[in-house]
Amino acid sequence: MSVAAERGVSAAQVALAWLLRRPAVTSVIIGARTEEQLADNLQAADLRLSDSEQARLDAVSALPLLYPYWHQAAAASDRLSAADLALLAPHLAK
């Protein structure tokens, strides 16, 4: 079941709320075409996703690593720097 359905809100509200909690995102652009869409989108400002909801959304939207990063994670995971780990830690086998 989707986060939006569980919360009883629109998918657009969840998407906007999720984006606002992403690192380095300071604002989002609302592309509403109707007054109803605008009113719905603005409600995202008050929607607070739980950490588990945020993690679920992060997981389903995660992009696969591109080369050379997947190679680093697979072949050099024992000698990654702090900078490498900032990107690769979520992709390392647990």
pLDDT digits (tens, 9 = 90+) for 61-72: 988 899 999 999
Domain ranges across the chain: 1-62, 64-94
- What is the tens place of the pLDDT at every residue in 79-94? 999 999 988 988 887 6
pLDDT reading at 76 higher than 60:
yes
The gap between the terminal CA atoms of the chain, to the nearest Å, is 26
Query: Looking at the chain, how many residues does it have?
Result: 94
User: Would you tell me the crossing angle of helices 35-42 and 11-20 to the nearest 10 degrees?
Assistant: 50
* Reported pTM: 0.72
